Structure 1
Amino acid sequence: MPDGGTWQTAHARRYRGYRLDLRRGRRLEVPTDVVTVVVGLSEPLRLTDAIDSRVVLDAASPVGGLRRTATVAEHQGRLEGVSVSLHPADAHRLFGPVLGELDNHWANLPDLLGRPAQHLTERTAEEPGWAQRFRLLDDFLTARIDQGPQWPAEVSWAWAELRRTGGTVSVRDLLQGTGWSRRRLEMRFREATGLAPKQAGQVLRLQRALSCHQRGATRSWAETAAVCGFYDQAHLSNTFRATMGCSPVQFFGHRAAAEPAAEPSDRVPDRVTSAVLPQLR
């Protein structure tokens, strides 16, 4: 059963503690506009790209930048740790340019930050409660983020426009707003976020579509497609499959079929991020 599933907001970050003792599980994790860092205190997770099954990582404390495709996360039944959601600008300050170089892959936290990250995991495990763990992590992250490289002003503006418009702003408008060439915009934006502006826009449009359907804000997938910046329902469905490896109907079917006692579905409270998948036979 879940234990300690608590969110605490500190600065622009969210912390979620979890302690789960379930049967072996599989989850489909959706690309979002936040970077998730896991400080794992139990067995490793196996992460597999939902579209390219050759891309696999086993890690107790995985880090992924902004992703283009969904992730299948598998665990053996016992999970404990803290999940931290970071604004991508903070993630860039924490990890530096290497985060933009992951190219839709993941990394193990100690591989990115070295011995301090391993020491952080050990200290987190020793703390008696979630509040103490959150405070420890916040002190560690704040010290490093405060010293890290900032996004160029043009990247910050372009990211804000993408967020403000739900991913529908055109590349032409971003070029006009930044004063950069198309090549320079894509290069600098990718260095900062790991995605090209067009790819980031697609992630944001998909997130908006998921949220609209979850809230019942639209009556049909055709209406959802129109509201969220897709040409039509076929465009939304094709984009969904190319990103998630399943249709929108299948995704929400997995969410509806999850047992009430299963681990919490969404790792970020105000976004649709996950579905519990059936076990492979």
Structure 2
Amino acid sequence: MTLLDGPLTVARGTLPDGGSWQTAQAGRCRGYRLHLRGGRRRLEVPTDVVTVVIGLSEPLRLTDAIDDRAVLRAVSPVGGLRRTATVAEHQGRLEGVSVSLHPADAHRLFGPVLGEAEHSWADLPDLLGRPARRLAERLAEQTDWARRFRLLGDFLTVRIDQGPRWPAEVSWAFAELRRTGGTAPVRDLVQGTGWSRRRLETRFREAVGLAPKQAAQVVRLQRALSHHQSGAGGFAETAAVSGFYDQAHLSNTFRATTGCSPAEFFGHRASAEPAAEPADRVPNLVTSAVLPQSG
């Protein structure tokens, strides 16, 4: 399992108000350093990867986009697979590193704890204890992104390699959902695993954090976002290509997941300042939109 499976790239920019940003990417590791004049609110849509953040500055406030009673304030949040989007807020001075993990690797790192926290997030030190706090201290001592990524990669790889593996049946079912863009019927997953429907749903939820039908919806939404972002067609075509009945089905599902329509989401992305920091936190996925500041 390799986290640093790509070259290091660094991007930076300045904003008209004097703020600045810098991002770095190598494989599945991402670094960020923001010095903005004001706060940021970002809508983070569900994805089929687990994001682990090691913050080196101020905490993030995470709020469920549908149920605003679900809130976490953490410097180093971990987000498992979720059915609903997250609104992430900070005050403008932010630095840290993050890594995008396959859910199977996240399960080996954290065990089933994320699978039991479908509607919430966790703080990394609460999951890994003192080693996580020491990792943050070591990362803060470095200013070079390559060294930071190597430290993070070494820390995670050892623990992932020692962790429990998914059952083979879960691995196959999850891969099948990805292969089909989330359109594989649950009955086909039942037949392919040789389990009963109840056993499949129980074991899949324990390992992944969502039931198969819920995970399929996340994969379909990501397929729809990527298709529309590519400019290959309007929302009606996007719905058809992505396994939704029609455009209304796509819009209703998207609103129930994120609190806004697909058109509103892409409108937020389009209205971002030209020099703003990159919107998406995971390479090759459409994950985020900068929202207007509330109030």
Check whether TM > 0.5. Answer: yes
Partner SS, residue 48 of structure 2? coil
1:28–1:276 contact (8 Å) kept in structure 2? yes
Partner of 1:21: 35
1:109 matches 2:124: yes
Partner of 2:265: 251
Question: 1:268 pairs with 264, 282, 289, which one?
Answer: 282
> CA-to-partner distance for each residue in 1:174-211, whole Å, 9 max, x for gaps?
00000011111011000011000000100010001001
1:189 matches 2:204: yes
Q: Which runs of 4+ in 1 moved over 6 A?
A: none
1:59 matches 2:77: no
- In structure 2, how many angstroms separate the alpha carbons of the residues matched to 1:245 and 1:131? 37
User: Which amino acid letter does the alignment assign opposite residue 228 of structure 1?
Assistant: S
- In structure 1, how many angstroms separate the alpha carbons of the residues matched to 2:118 and 2:30? 26
Partner SS, residue 2 of structure 1? strand
Partner of 2:178: 163
Matches within 5 A, 1:196-215: 196-215=211-230
1:104–1:194 contact (8 Å) kept in structure 2? no
Question: 1:149 pairs with 145, 156, 164, which one?
Answer: 164
Partner SS, residue 26 of structure 1? strand
Q: CA deviation at 1:272?
A: 0.3
Q: Please, which runs of 5 or more residues in structure 2 have no aligned partner? A: 1-19
- In structure 2, how many angstroms separate the alpha carbons of the residues matched to 1:7 and 1:88? 20
Question: 2:134 pairs with 119, 142, 155, which one?
Answer: 119
Percent identity, aligned pairs only, is 79
User: Which amino acid letter does the alignment assign opposite residue 8 of structure 1?
Assistant: A
Partner of 1:72: 87
- In structure 2, how many angstroms separate the alpha carbons of the residues matched to 1:53 and 1:122? 32
1:45–1:60 contact (8 Å) kept in structure 2? yes
> CA-to-partner distance for each residue in 1:87-108, whole Å, 9 max, x for gaps?
1100000000111111220010
- In structure 2, how many angstroms separate the alpha carbons of the residues matched to 1:19 and 1:199? 34
1:8 matches 2:23: no
Q: CA deviation at 1:128?
A: 3.0
- In structure 1, how many angstroms separate the alpha carbons of the residues matched to 2:259 and 2:135? 35
Q: Please, which runs of 5 or more residues in structure 1 have no aligned partner? A: none
Partner of 2:16: none
Q: Work out the number of aligned pairs and report it.
A: 275
TM-score by length of 1: 0.97
> CA-to-partner distance for each residue in 1:193-244, whole Å, 9 max, x for gaps?
10000001000100010011000112x2111111110011111111000001
1:47–1:73 contact (8 Å) kept in structure 2? yes
User: Which amino acid letter does the alignment assign opposite residue 19 of structure 1?
Assistant: R
2:60–2:90 contact (8 Å) kept in structure 1? yes
User: Which amino acid letter does the alignment assign opposite residue 47 of structure 1?
Assistant: L
Q: CA deviation at 1:262?
A: 2.1
- In structure 2, how many angstroms separate the alpha carbons of the residues matched to 1:6 and 1:156? 31
- In structure 2, how many angstroms separate the alpha carbons of the residues matched to 1:97 and 1:61? 19
